[in-house]
Structure 1
Amino acid sequence: MEKTQQVHELLCRTRDSVRVIRGLSQQENVVFASACFACLFSKCGSKLAIVDLHGVKVLKTSDFTELMSVRRSNVQLLHFSECAKYLVSWEKPQEETPNLIIWDTTTGTPIYSLVQKKFMKECWPTIIFNADSTRFYIKGGSDLCIYRIPEPQPLLIFNQIRVTSFFISSKTNMLIIYTGDSKGEGSKISICVETATGLEKTAELGVKYVQEIKVLWNKDAQRAVIWCQTDVDTTGRSYYGEHSLYIYTPEIKLKQVKTTEGPIHDVQWNPVDNEFIVISGFMPATTNFFNLNGNKKSEIAKHHRNTIKWNRFGTLVLIAGFGNLHGEIDIYDKETMNMIGHCRAPSTVYCEWGPCGKVFVAATLCPRMRVDNGYCVYKYTGELLVRVMEPTELWEVAWTPQVFVFEPLTPSHKEQVVVQKKTYKPPGSSSGFAAHFKAVKESASGKLQVQHAPPPPPSDFIPGMAPEPAKKKKKKKKPAAGK
């Protein structure tokens, strides 16, 4: 169960310690006062895993007492199972020693020890548990291996399809398997269902060359949006490569979603409803609403934005422009789709709604930003509630998973906000000249007095030498009369 309380808790991991800040009054509780390289809350919020110089520790979040401690070196990544009973750790590979280990968090003993040398951080976690943590799935070469915990040998090795990456539905027995291009065969997306005898393929879609895909499941994990990406745009129009979007539904299987021409910047499902938002197109990008079948419902706005964040209740959505954009943040009310809040948080690396669904944090973190590390907490209206600047490097900020009672917004809190667009002014310039120039140009005469530059000096001019006196012109004598 998630922690049930009505006080926000925010975890901050710096170079020297891990702190938990209770509430917005900045009451600190130092959980770990030494160098920490990684930390992770379980999904239910009952446990906190920490990696230090000596190994891995698991703490109970109610009082931060130690539940498990193991000595391991070079641990870099962590992952909890759905029920927090198991913890997965990944270490830098050293020869043939196991570096991917599944731990039992109650006893601190390793359940499985595997070797995984080839690894991309973007593909973490490489071990996926089912909903009740009785089985886990892992890719072995081009095969998919399914283990039943704690049996040492795989329950099933699926090799009918070459597996590049796979995605598990958390609430059904469905899998999506992506097969990358090989020898010009093209890429494929396969929909499979797990049965008592193995995996059965129910649908397949051939797509053009794709380097990676992301799968986003809806609230009941029966529908999925599949985001296909390549690093290179063959047309040369986009720096972000080529993107395409597909949707899987039990009724229509697989079909392409029509988005605005250009790169896709972000896609997010409403956590409590069968609808999703897509930001796509060249900047200024277009933000659109789509229904459960992938058909466009409405256009929200056309602006410089690339990030979508829903609160956990699906009542508010944050649409922002981070990264190489200016950090503009818009908050929309889902019921009316009016903008009810706006603020600006430049240099934001991490942004997330709090568990109450009415405040959010925007943080500037290492290693992306080495200066001005800190975080700000904003209300959904854009009002700044807390600003904290860290004197040392800030590496991570995260809300403690908790259960808050849903409190709907009152009509007075849904008033639409109108953002005034400011004219661009170059850095270091003053607006006086521009205003004067415009006034003269629009005056009745409409004539500008142009001062011509002086002529250039002669080629034999010596810098610093006084200029030669101007020669007086001799007046011509008038001829005498009568001559």
Structure 2
Amino acid sequence: MINQETPEGIMAASIALRGADGIWMVNGPPNLDPKAEFSKEGSPACKVMTFSQDGQRMAWCNGTCTVIVNTAADYKTITEIDKGKINCMTFSPKGTILALWENYTVNQTTNQGNPNLHLYDATSGDLLKSLIQKKQSNWDPKWTDDEGIACRNVNNELHFFEGNNFETIKTKLHLQKVSLFSLASSGPPYTVAGYVPGSKGQPSFVRIFRYPNFGGPQAALANKSFFKADDVQMKWNKAGTALLVLTSTEASDQSYYGDQGLHFLSTNGESNLVSLAKNGPIYHIEWSPKSTEFVVVYGFMPAKVTLFNMKTEPIFDFGTGPRNVAYFSPHGNHILYYLMTIKLLCLAGFGNLRGNLEFWDPKSRKLIAQTQSPDSTSFEWCPDGQHVLTATTAPRLRVANGYRVWHYSGNCLKQVLIDKGRELWEARWQPGSFSEPVIRTHNLPSAGNTSSAPAPEGKVGAYRPPQARGTSASIKLHEYEAPSDPNKKAEDPNKPVSKNKKKRDAKKAKAAQEGAQSHDAPVSAPSATPVPVSSAPAMGSTGNVETDKRIRNLRKKLQQIEKLKEQKASGKQLELNQMEKLKTEESLLKELAELEIS
């Protein structure tokens, strides 16, 4: 993709739109005009479209054939494939193969299934391989980013292919009816995780393997077993070093939403349950592009959002609000004020929420801007890391279809509504490679803008009770929790004050009194032999380095025990070593008290 310079910087990616009028494209900000280079596809039978990961190729099916277009420069047709009833399509990571899926059918004469997964050379249009893939869910092969290996689940068995040679199965992973798998996109070395559902009282489990070392359970890099898992989602970080596993059941005695659990597995063998600070469903999990942090949106509304590190420790709490998704921007952005590389984070609330959009700087823990995009059914960051695209599409919503382009400052740059009686089905940014933009968190145009996008014509406002009509007053349904650092805990006023703390407080009061007296007294000449600052004990220190270190370790262990107690109280099943750790609480408290008194 060729990036064009504008007075405001690099022009953002183009936008592809698919609807009842076919497929068309518009330029990205700042002009957002129709893209003249792209010849509109006028067929109303366009069920699917896709871009290659680098944005240099685009494909769609128009009901008659499948078209591949060069979107890097001239937008000319590369090839046409004689497949007109395609339901799903995707490019391999490097854009060399186009995978197509159509509904599975059976040959009435032979009573044999017809191949319905087709792999084509994306340049020549030649058919490379046709396979049978009955289910639409997880229909496509999964590749690593370098296309070194690809993997398919065939009859609860994982088949691996190398170098895009799908004529030969290079190796297989036999894992007692593995139902789902997740291939890390990074590598080599390549890593894959397999999920096996529990049966006959046995727990479900996830195991991580290093390709091609699949020699039984002993070969697993990490293993996590759990009960209560009707459904599983697995998400690798970009580096392929850690995996998040979200388990859920359809319903339970405790909750209409069922039971959920979030588990962390690492390729170094670590595995544990992620402890969450609020009861309720888990709406969304997302890895930071840096691969060292992840964010979780969870809890009964208003939902809580927490940022965790690789030790599954909370490092920042974004408070509560009307959100159910969280998305990091695709760039490592350079902020002038802080002079450091960060990612922007958008917290949003769609579906039955009002389209809340919050743009955060997760490094400085500051809210940059807040606005609303009502009735949005889709959200996507622009690859330039500065703009987002929201859309209202059918069949989810069949009225007020259209799209909006936003800047991270909260400004709605453009809103386009589709004519009444017409439908918009999909809106997507064209992927591309952009230089790292300059992101500002201060002196923004309308920074912190809280105005929402223009409301569509005829949109009915929110219901207001008779006594509140005609007034500007609003009724609060929830009290929101403010953002906070979970590692900075306020002191408990009911906790007994240790003798050591009493001594320190007395010293502080005496020093403050002497300081006040010396402030009023005449200024005297400085001492010829000043006392070195380093000779005084640090604030909160016992004066003994080893004792201070032991106290810190004890407090850390007690914090871990508190987390385990919370998990146990919420009904989570603790492991044997965790139960043993709970038994040490009394002795740890006693030792801590003795050290603080000494």
TM-score, L = length of structure 1: 0.83
Write out per-residue CA displacement over residues 82-127 of structure 1, whole angstroms, 9 at most, x where no aligned residue: 100001111011101110111111221111111112333xx353x1
The match for 2:248 is 229
- State the identity as a percent: 24
The match for 1:306 is 324
TM-superposed deviation, 1:408: 2.8
Number of aligned pairs? 427
Of 139, 143, 147, the match for 1:133: 147
Change (3 A) 1:411 1:396: closer
The match for 2:81 is 70
TM-superposed deviation, 1:151: 5.0
Residue 392 of structure 2 corresponds to residue 364 of structure 1? yes
The match for 1:83 is 94
Q: Which amino acid aligns with 2:83?
A: R
Distance 1:432 1:165 in 2: 53
Distance 2:412 2:105 in 1: 47
TM-superposed deviation, 1:362: 1.1
Q: Is the 8 A contact 1:175 1:193 kept in 2?
A: yes
Distance 2:117 2:200 in 1: 31
Distance 1:75 1:250 in 2: 38
Q: Is the 8 A contact 2:386 2:437 kept in 1?
A: no
Distance 2:405 2:471 in 1: 38
The match for 1:52 is 62
Write out per-residue CA displacement over residues 342-384 of structure 1, whole angstroms, 9 at most, x where no aligned residue: 1111111011111221221110001111110001111112111
TM-superposed deviation, 1:426: 3.8
Q: Is the 8 A contact 1:425 1:431 kept in 2?
A: no
Write out per-residue CA displacement over residues 417-441 of structure 1, whole angstroms, 9 at most, x where no aligned residue: 4969xxx9843635369999xxxxx
**Bigger strand fraction:** 1
Write out per-residue CA displacement over residues 281-332 of structure 1, whole angstroms, 9 at most, x where no aligned residue: 1111111110112111121111121010111125211101111111111111
Residue 52 of structure 2 corresponds to residue 38 of structure 1? no
Write out per-residue CA displacement over residues 434-457 of structure 1, whole angstroms, 9 at most, x where no aligned residue: 999xxxxxxxxxxxxxxxxxxxxx
The correspondence of residues 329-340 of structure 1 with structure 2, limited to 5 A, is 329-340=357-368
TM-superposed deviation, 1:161: 3.5
Write out per-residue CA displacement over residues 211-256 of structure 1, whole angstroms, 9 at most, x where no aligned residue: 2222222231211211112222x12423x32211111223452111
TM-superposed deviation, 1:183: 3.2
Q: Is the 8 A contact 2:228 2:248 kept in 1?
A: no
Q: Is the 8 A contact 1:218 1:271 kept in 2?
A: yes
Residue 464 of structure 2 corresponds to residue 427 of structure 1? yes
Unaligned runs of 5+ in 2: 5-9, 107-112, 332-341, 452-460, 474-598
Q: Is the 8 A contact 1:354 1:361 kept in 2?
A: yes
Of 208, 231, 240, the match for 1:191: 208
Secondary structure of the residue aligned to 1:220 is coil
The match for 2:161 is 147
Q: Is the 8 A contact 2:368 2:441 kept in 1?
A: no
Q: Is the 8 A contact 2:371 2:449 kept in 1?
A: no
Change (3 A) 1:353 1:177: same
TM-superposed deviation, 1:269: 1.3
Distance 2:248 2:443 in 1: 39
Secondary structure of the residue aligned to 2:40 is strand
The match for 2:311 is 293
TM-superposed deviation, 1:49: 0.8
Residue 21 of structure 2 corresponds to residue 16 of structure 1? yes
Secondary structure of the residue aligned to 2:11 is coil
Secondary structure of the residue aligned to 1:402 is coil
TM-score, L = length of structure 2: 0.67
Residue 274 of structure 2 corresponds to residue 257 of structure 1? yes
Q: Which amino acid aligns with 1:351?
A: F
Q: Is the 8 A contact 1:193 1:201 kept in 2?
A: yes
Q: Is the 8 A contact 1:338 1:416 kept in 2?
A: no
Change (3 A) 1:66 1:191: same
Q: Is the 8 A contact 1:3 1:45 kept in 2?
A: no
Change (3 A) 1:418 1:243: farther
The match for 2:234 is 215
Distance 1:16 1:294 in 2: 48
**Bigger helix fraction:** 2
Of 195, 206, 209, the match for 2:225: 206
Residue 371 of structure 2 corresponds to residue 343 of structure 1? yes
The match for 2:344 is 316
Distance 1:248 1:116 in 2: 30
| CA RMSD in angstroms, aligned pairs only | 2.5
Q: Is the 8 A contact 2:295 2:306 kept in 1?
A: yes
Change (3 A) 1:419 1:28: closer
Q: Which amino acid aligns with 1:7?
A: M
